[in-house]
Amino acid sequence: MLANLSERGKNNLRAISLSLLLPIWNIFTNRMPTHIDFLKWLAISFTLYCLWQALYLSSKKENKKKWLDVLASYVLVTAMAYILFVVLILHDTEKFRWLFLFKFLMVAILFRIIQFGVRASEDRAQLQMEKQQMLAENYRVQLQELRSKVDPHFLFNSLNTLRVMVRNGNKDSEKFVMSLCDFYRQTLKYNESSVITVAEEINVLNSYFFLMQTRNKDAVSINIELPENVMKDKVPTLSMQILIENCFKHNRMSATLPLRINIYSDKDYIWIKNNIQPKITYFEPSGYGLSNIRNRYELFGISDDSVVINKSDDYFEVKLKLIK
**pLDDT attached to residue 2:** 47
Average pLDDT over residues 261-287: 81
What mean pLDDT, rounded, does the chain reach? 76
Give bridge partners of residue 309 from the DSSP assignment: 318
Measure the CA–CA gap between 315 and 175, rounded to whole angstroms.
Answer: 32
Contact present, 272 and 241 (Cβ < 8 Å): no
pLDDT band at 72 (very low <50, low <70, confident <90, very high): low
Q: Outline which parts of the chain fall under CATH 3.30.565.10.
A: 171-321
- In this prediction, residues 20-28 reach a mean pLDDT of 65
Q: How confident is the model at residue 149 (pLDDT cuts 50, 70, 90)?
A: low
- Each residue's pLDDT tens digit, 53-71: 777 777 666 555 665 666 6
Distances (CA, A) of 41 to 50, 160, 200, 226: 14, 85, 62, 67
Q: How far is CA 229 from the centre of its chain?
A: 25
Predicted pLDDT at 152: 66
User: Please, is 194 exposed, middle or buried when counting C-beta atoms within 10 Å of its C-beta (0-12, 13-18, 19+)?
Assistant: middle
Helix axes 288-298, 239-250, angle to 10 degrees: 170
Tell me the residue type at 141. V
CATH class of 171-321: alpha beta
Q: What is the pLDDT of residue 199?
A: 94
Contacts of residue 20, defined as CB under 8 A and 6 or more positions apart, other chains included, come to: 45
Quote the pTM value: 0.57
Q: Which of 16-30, 165-179, 253-267 shows the lowest mean pLDDT across its residues?
A: 16-30
For 110, other C-beta atoms within 10 Å of its C-beta total 13
* Average pLDDT value for residue range 258-265: 94
Condensed to tens digits (0 to 9), the pLDDT of residues 194-245 reads 788 999 999 889 888 888 888 888 899 999 999 999 999 999 888 898 899 8
Average of per-residue pLDDT across 111-140: 76
Higher pLDDT, 253 or 20: 253
How many CB atoms sit inside 10 A of residue 308's CB?
12
